[in-house]
Amino acid sequence: MTNLLSRFLAVLADDDGTSPAAGLDDDGYDLWLRYLPLAATRRTAVGTSATALLVGSESPILKSARSELEKALFAMLLARVPVRFARTEHDGAVQPGSILLGTPQSLPVLANLDLPLATLGKDGYVVRSMSVQGVAVTIIAANEDVGVLYGCFAFLRHIQTGGAPAEIDLVSSPRLALRLLNHWDNLDGSIERGYAGFSIWDWWTLPDHADARYTDYARANASIGINGTVLNNVNAVPDVLASSFLVKVARLADIFRPYGIRVFLSVNFASPAALGGLPTVDPLDAEVRDWWQRKADEIYALIPDFGGFLVKANSEGQPGPNDTGHSHADGANMIADALMPHGGTLIWRTFVYASDALVDRAAEALDAFKPLDGAFRRNVILQVKNGPIDFQPREPFSPIFGQVTKTPVMMEVQITKEYLGQATHLVYLGPAFEEVLQFDTYAAGKGTSLSRILTGEVFAPTVTGMAGVANIGTDRAWTGGVFNQANWYVFGRLAWDPDMSSRRIAEEWVKMSFGCIEALVRPVVDMMMQSHETLVNYMMPYGLHHQFATGHHYGPGPWISDLTRPEWNPTYYNRADRHGIGFDRTRTGSDAVAQYAPELAALFADPHAFDEKYLLWFHHVPWDFQMTSGKTLWTSLVEKYDLGLDQVRTMREIWQNVRPHVDARRFAQVAAFLAIQEREAQWWRDASIAYFQQVSGLPTPEGHAPPPHPLDHYKALHFPYAPGHPH
């Protein structure tokens, strides 16, 4: 990936062992895999522990692992590390400083070592400094080749983040089986909720031409443990299952396979009618079932390791089994039956809601799927959004987690920041993901974190997983902004281990992306860790949600009330009037709290018992409601808006202070984006206060500036070409 000249020029930087080569422009393409030259002291230490690679075989995956090590070590050490193959125990003595790379089957010398491989499964790895044949070496071992690949990236991460090369002892295996990126990419190259350019899949030139970026994409995903990719939008068009497209999919699968990544496809439930000309899509109809079986057979003939299908059905206009009077289980099982002989997985999304204004949208998914619990085939997994609404800046967890217990469930989060400032706002999602993963569901008593449900510790599902809606596009830096890369990175690391600290992950990313200088790492990590709460403060504090402008979700629109579906209107959620604000989900309102475990429901139902950051999610309270601070809700609300704006200004100061340690190009982009973020935080603050002040009739609290314009000014703002949304 990295420009070779830049690697060599970087060696001229100060010899402190942690040089970020700040004087060099970096366009962000290399992500966290920069592999810049180490300064002399580090170069000597690492070089002593990496004198040669001893490899067992040349399988496609081991070849990828060896290639990554060769490339990285050459870049960091400025010297080529020789490779030797030892397919038997008699292929030569182990040399001091060698890196032994393989499985006990491919590299027999590993079979005689006391390595804890038995509990690591196929993806786990051991990376360890130890003595073999009386000499010091580094072992990168696993039960299967893909584990070796993950171990190689773990070894390189250890070096990149300043770890001692002779003191490595890493033992890890993923706690979730499916670790998927969901691309909302359309076949015409556009991306729904995409803020980083167009789709990287050039369907027009596939399969004949394969962009080198496809391989770099696979490398980046493998480096953080992602093992599957859903190539197309959940709002799928039937054409993706046409034979002419399947050969294109097969070409991508061939490129991804050496990195342990399987492809999945989002499919349209009505495909048998649209592609096959059938008069019905009834899931119990024999011809429909046969069509899906033949289509699955065709796909697996092209792609033997095809992962399976993802389906969005009977949601937001997408067809589904309800259209013919059948249940979600009927529809899912029909497609799952077609995949089962091939070992494929059917992922069925639970994101469903109707347009009845009398039904709380937050409660509809569980109402639809709890009665079907246990009715799905064993190769079906339900994909559940982290919260009960739609990737809001803050939501409680979806009640499906802990209430659907006989059917496997996986969590879906959104890496692309549809509702979090899109590409330009600096918002590190690690704390937000961690908040929901560590939420105590009480599903099996106090201490039942959501992460324990996902990993199968509580209900023992047949398959486990986590999915993230990708933020990747043709932008040279992949994600439309430097810090957006951190959200791709943290998703992969948490999908590997949902209990990992988001701060630790942020530290890894900063060190790998910018360098290990403490004067850079500490303030930038602190800024990242605060950034999500900052956004919540200036957008939607205290549990407010879905207060966005229509369609593109760019900017505030808490006054909007005229959309055709009631649950698309921000006023549906804020319920602001002369008397108060918030959505009553207690027994006096929608009673959605009853969907949670009784102990948690009781906490949610008491406005004084649970964390105030969820107050307006569960309660409609008067404007003079007394907060724990002793101040009224109205005063506290305005204080939060102002606090968020002040925190963005502090972020700008922090970034200016680390300027000496960051290359000019990336520094300039982040600085420009932070300026945009401050301007838009001011907009969110002013527009929100203007609206809530009008409906409440309350004056601006003392010590806080009133909005500079009347409400009509903010209502008149119009953005027809905002990105990420069809027009």
Q: Where are the beta strands (DSSP E) in 540-695?
A: 580-581, 621-622
HSE on the CB side for 88, CA within 13 Å? 2
Cα separation, 59 vs 68, in Å, equals 14
571-605 burial: b if 16+ Cβ within 10 Å, else e: bbbbebeeebbbbbbbeebbebbebbbeebbebbb
Residue 316 annotated among the catalytic residues of the structure: yes
Cα separation, 70 vs 54, in Å, equals 12
CA 285 to chain centre: 37
CB count, 10 Å around CB of 479?
26
Residue 123 annotated among the catalytic residues of the structure: no
Cα separation, 529 vs 634, in Å, equals 27
Q: Return the ∠ at Cα 397 (arms to 497 and 495), rounded to 5°.
A: 15
Residue 418 annotated among the catalytic residues of the structure: yes
Catalytic residue, from 68, 364, 390, 639: name it: 390
Catalytic residue, from 68, 144, 282, 418: name it: 418
Q: How would DSSP label each residue in 260-320?
A: T-EEEEEE-TTHHHHTT--S---TT-HHHHHHHHHHHHHHHHH-TT--EEEE--SSTT---
Catalytic residue, from 25, 89, 316, 518: name it: 316
- Those residues whose C-beta lies under 8 Å from the C-beta of residue 550, and which sit 6 or more positions away, are 557, 560, 563, 568
Per the CB < 8 A criterion, the answer to whether 185 and 473 are in contact is: no
C-alpha distances (whole Å) from 118 to each of 103, 141, 155, 173 are: 12, 12, 20, 11
Cα separation, 388 vs 369, in Å, equals 13
Q: Residue type for 352, please?
A: V
CA terminus-to-terminus distance, the chain: 35
Q: Read off the tokens for 587.
A: 């027994």
CB count, 10 Å around CB of 10?
23
- Those residues whose C-beta lies under 8 Å from the C-beta of residue 134, and which sit 6 or more positions away, are none
Cα separation, 65 vs 61, in Å, equals 6
Q: Read off the tokens for 96.
A: 């001091």
Catalytic residue IDs: 316, 390, 418
